[in-house]
Amino acid sequence: MFLLIFAVIIAVPLIEIYFVVKIGSVVGVIPTIALLFVISVFGSRVVKHQGLRVWRKFNEQVSSGHVPSRELIEGVCLLVAGALLVAPGFFTDALGFLLLLPPFRLVVVKIVGARTTNKVQVVRATYDRPVVDIKEHRDDDTGHANGELGQ
């Protein structure tokens, strides 16, 4: 796992630099920077719109008493998409836009759902009234509580 993370940390910036240089050499520096800016602004608006939709679905699931597992995974996908779209670079923007596509998110939901099935335990609790449980531990035969001295 460490090697995979290390490879991603090294590979992604190199891929980004490659694409920025290639596109910059074709269209120029200013248009490349403007394109990266427009993609970030547009992507953030799409993430906000889809995030609100997923939030509504999440609330509907909770209100109906269901566990909103799909909505949670979709929400995480949208958070990652937003981070990728804000980061400057065409490669991360492409990955971010992939995560914005509902069919691609559905694939991610199925993969993550399959990997986490039977690994997550949902505990439901309600608050009815406070419970006070006092137990006194007796140390010896004198009947005094632990730490008290008999006089």
pLDDT per residue, tens digit, the chain (151 aa), is 888 898 889 999 999 999 999 999 999 999 999 999 999 899 889 999 988 999 999 889 888 888 788 888 888 899 999 999 988 899 999 999 999 998 998 998 888 877 766 665 555 556 666 555 555 555 555 555 554 444 4
Q: Residues 55, 79: contact at Cβ < 8 Å? A: no
* Residue 115: predicted pLDDT: 75
Is 18 among the domain residues? Answer: yes
Query: Percent of the chain, pLDDT > 90?
Result: 38
What integer pLDDT is reported at residue 128 of this predicted model? Answer: 64
Tokens coding 88: 């400057």
Structural domain for 104, as ranges: 10-116
* 111 in a structural domain: yes
| 54 occurs within a structural domain | yes
Residue 135 lies in a domain: no
Give the position of tokens 């990652």. Answer: 80
Angstrom CA distances, 3 to 7, 8, 11, 91, 134, stand at 6, 9, 12, 21, 51
Q: Is 127 a domain residue?
A: no
Cα–Cα distances (Å) from 8 to 43, 72, 85, 92, in that order, read 23, 25, 17, 12
Any idea how long the chain is? 151
Question: Is 121 inside any structural domain?
Answer: no
Q: Give the chain's domain count.
A: 1
In a domain, 132, yes or no: no
pTM for this prediction: 0.68
Answer yes or no: is 44 within a domain: yes
What span, in angstroms and rounded, lies between the C-alpha atoms of 114 and 108? 10
Exposure b/e, 26-46, CB count within 10 A at least 16 = b: eeeeeebeebbeebbeebeeb
Round to whole Å and give the CA distance between 106 and 69. Answer: 12
